[in-house]
Structure 1
Amino acid sequence: MPSDDFVARRDAGAGWHAQMPDDKAMLRAARDLTKDIAEARPAIYWPDMIGSALLGYVAIAAAILVDGALEKIAFGIVGALAFYRALMFIHELTHIHKNALPGFRLGWNLLVGIPLLVPSFMYEGVHTLHHKRTQYGTVEDPEYLPLALMKLWSLPLFVLVSLLAPIGLIVRFGLLVPLGAILPPVRKFVWQRASSLSINPEFRRRPPEGDISKRVFWQELGGMLWAWALVGSVFWLGWAPLVTAGAILSVTALLNQLRTLVAHLWENEGEAMTVTAQFLDSVNVPPPGYAAEIWAPVGLRYHALHHLMPSMPYHSLPEAHRRLARELGVSSTYHGANHKGMATLVGRIARSTMTPRG
């Protein structure tokens, strides 16, 4: 259990050691109190994903067709938020049991992944490395950067570079995939450096193995053809539709990067961490307040809790949080991962970047 001053230290920005002992009572409660809500429910997943995607398509079409600037902006915001929620189901795909939601991976890829040029292979087999006990927070973690220990200017750069994502994805699928089919060195480079949704520049993806190899082929083929269709659309529709859609999806990428910025505290210097230390370096933004449901949809406002129970379906995380908070109390380790909101978290990370270090 944590010391009595843990919460005060947490709120003051004090860190904790990567090898702090695991809170076995918390880990046991997470296991025992949530067994009855651990099953993914298709009746929730399918309508949520399809509805979010369809709303995104309607909004993006409206933004292209309307004339007024304010109307374009309004529809663009709706489209960016809707596609953002639809896109976040890629996170669920990496954790749910392969037999839990028959056809969901294929449906998501056809409706969201390939049209947005982010097919599921770019996350599958990558994100699970972030959850490995011995790799989280180390140089082998594709989704970890010690942002709180870097320079202050790195934070806006980290966020703003995401605005280029639509252009980068069109180049990756439309140009580099066919080049890689001809030139093996290009193919190797693209697979290692541009085939995963990672933020660690040192990460190199290993060759695909097993079932994912076949999925990679078809998903890359679909992405390549779609990228060609997008570029080709300029010749009969002009630049305006593609630029409008690209701008909306740039906002989607920006939202995701902002969420990533505050998904962890980023205070680890590369050392392997205990499960409890990983949990406390991760972030919950629980109710009250609704803003987190917008910038951290599909259960991602409970990101620390997700690190305790990676396979828990997103629709069960709110109830799991309520049970654990009630059982463990505000002085527990569990409460130490709960934070007020994005602004508070960004401020904490920014202050950490300005702290002198020897």
Structure 2
Amino acid sequence: MRQAHGLTADLTTPDRTIYWLDLVLTATVAWSGLWLAATARHPDVIAAAGLVGLLALYRGLSFIHEISHLRPKDVPGFRLGWNLLIGVPLMTPSMMYEGVHNLHHAKHRFGTAKDPEYLPLGRYSPFKLGLFAAISLLAPLGVILRSGILIPLSFVIPPVRRFVRTKLSALVINPDFVREDNDKTRPDWLAQEIGCWLWCWGVAALTVAGVVPVRVVLTWFALFSLATFVNQLRTLVAHYWENDGEMMSFEDQFLDSVNVPPPALLPFLWAPVGLRYHALHHLLPRLPYHNLGKAHARLSAQLAATSPYHRVEEKGLFMALGKLFRRAGVTPLTVEADPVERQSA
């Protein structure tokens, strides 16, 4: 860790221009792609616009991870801008990740029952892994239910408010995670919740009135659903998921995480905004996403060949998923070979 910090000390400052330019361009492409896919008539145009809109929407949504690590002074106004352009329109505001994701990085929580973003997926059956991925397709339905029904109800029914705050206000993997409820909602978080509520009701009213075509809403639902599915597949290969609740050393935590570096090109699409360097992110969580590639190149070149840093690389999404499913028992005869494959990666 000391070596890694020393080699990347000059890469920890976020570039505000990159953040804002990336966000604005991504949001523009996402919503333009969605609108074109929802209004075009030619199947090829619909397919192309839908694919571009899907990838841009997914990239935009992925910024929520970066926001959870940014301090307000790092990129002033970025959190508000992201919520206006992406978070509220997808009814997935930043408050659902802030104060939650940092617990995943806590050394005494990682991989334990207190980690909101960890399950022993490496020990799951193929069926359970498939179900874990497929359930993400219902995400749009979940945010509509939360924003359009439960949030307004929670302001008049205290038990519903408590349930929403503790169980429905965090993007997590661990279903047993309960968010602390201290009865003090931050004003900006409250504004995000009200914004999602009003957005949901506003779109519904405009759709019923015929102002917003039903096809636009259905396209939004489809692209958002597919974006969360891609993210769930990425989640499956972000770690090796081998721990079963025990406390782990920092090195073991790092070795449980995964990088998918160049020369692979597709991770730029399915693991955007620096998510392809997930192991590096766990090693140095303060590095901004636009500097992770530079940091990885330095560490790869200057750390000894025996360094643990070289043991956490995968070549691509499908290869990593294949290893996970083989460990889960899809092809039992190859399970014993996996540890060797991992050590030689």
Q: Report the TM-score range of the alignment, normalised by the length of the smaller protein.
A: over 0.9
AA in 2 matched with 1:216: W
Corresponding residue for residue 229 of structure 1: 202
Cα distance change of structure 1 residues 209 and 136 upon mapping to structure 2, 3 Å threshold: farther
* Alpha-carbon distance between aligned partners in 1 of 2:146 and 2:183, rounded to the nearest angstrom: 21
Q: Taking every aligned residue pair, what percent have the same amino acid on both sides?
A: 46
Structure 2 counterparts to residues 250-329 of structure 1, below 5 A: 250-329=225-304
Superposition deviation, residue 209 in structure 1: 7.7
Q: Match for 1:189: what amino acid? A: F
Pairwise CA distance, 1:177: 0.3
8 Å CA contact 1:50–1:86 kept in 2: the answer is no
Return the alpha-carbon distance in structure 1 between the equivalents of residues 183 and 284 of structure 2.
Answer: 26
The question of 1:174 aligning with 2:148 is answered yes
Q: Which amino acid aligns with 1:229?
A: G
Worse-superposed segment, 89-98 or 218-227: 89-98
In 1, the alpha carbon distance for the partners of 2:150 and 2:265 equals 41
Offset at residue 65 of structure 1 (A) = 1.0
1:201 corresponds, among 155, 175, 199, to 175
* Pairing 1:19-168 to 2, within 5 Å after superposition: 27-168=1-142
Aligned pair count reads 330
Deviates more, 1:155-164 or 1:122-131: 155-164
Following superposition, the deviation at residue 94 of structure 1 comes to 1.0
Determine helix, strand or coil for the equivalent of 1:34: helix
Q: Matched residue of 2:241: which SS?
A: coil
- Letter in structure 2 aligned against 1:31: H
Q: Counterpart in 2 of 1:20?
A: none
Q: Comparing 291-300 with 201-210, which one deviates more in the overlay?
A: 201-210
Equivalent-residue separation in structure 1 for 2:215 and 2:266 (angstroms): 32
Give the deviation of 1:251 after TM superposition. 1.1
Confirm whether residue 333 of structure 1 aligns to residue 308 of structure 2. Answer: yes
Query: Are the equivalent residues in 2 in contact too, given 1:151–1:353 (CA < 8 A)?
Result: yes
What one-letter code is carried by the residue in structure 1 that aligns with 2:200? A
Aligned position for 1:246: 221
In the alignment, the residues of structure 1 paired with residue 103 and residue 183 of structure 2 have an alpha-carbon distance, to the nearest angstrom, of: 15
Q: TM-score, normalised by structure 1?
A: 0.89
The alpha-carbon deviation at position 238 of structure 1 amounts to 4.2
Aligned partners of 2:322, 2:13: CA distance in 1, in Å?
37
Paired letter, 2:274: G
In the aligned structure 1, how far is the partner of 2:176 from the partner of 2:327?
A: 23
Counterpart Cα distance in 2 of 1:132 and 1:218: 28
Counterpart Cα distance in 1 of 2:182 and 2:72 = 18
Counterpart residue number, 2:342: none
Scaled by the length of structure 2, what TM-score is found? Answer: 0.92
1:246 counterpart SS class:
helix
Alignment partner of 1:351 is 2:339: no
Rounded Cα–Cα distance in structure 1 between residues aligned with 2:182 and 2:103: 14
| In structure 1, distance between residues paired with 2:263 and 2:113 | 35
Shift of 1:214: 1.4
Higher RCO (C-alpha 8 Å, min separation 6): 1
CA distance in 2, matches of 1:217, 1:131: 25
CA distance in 1, matches of 2:183, 2:259: 34
Shift of 1:239: 2.2
Q: Which amino acid aligns with 2:281?
A: H
| Matching residue within 295, 298, 317 for 1:342 | 317
Q: Cα deviations across residues 177-230 of structure 1 (Å, max 9, x unaligned)?
A: 0111111111111111111110101101112587x6212210000000001122
Paired with 2:323 and 2:182, the residues of 1 have a C-alpha distance of 38
Matched, 1:215 2:188: yes
AA in 2 matched with 1:36:
D
Of 236-245 and 45-54, deviating more is 236-245
Structure 2 gap segments, 5+ residues each: 336-345
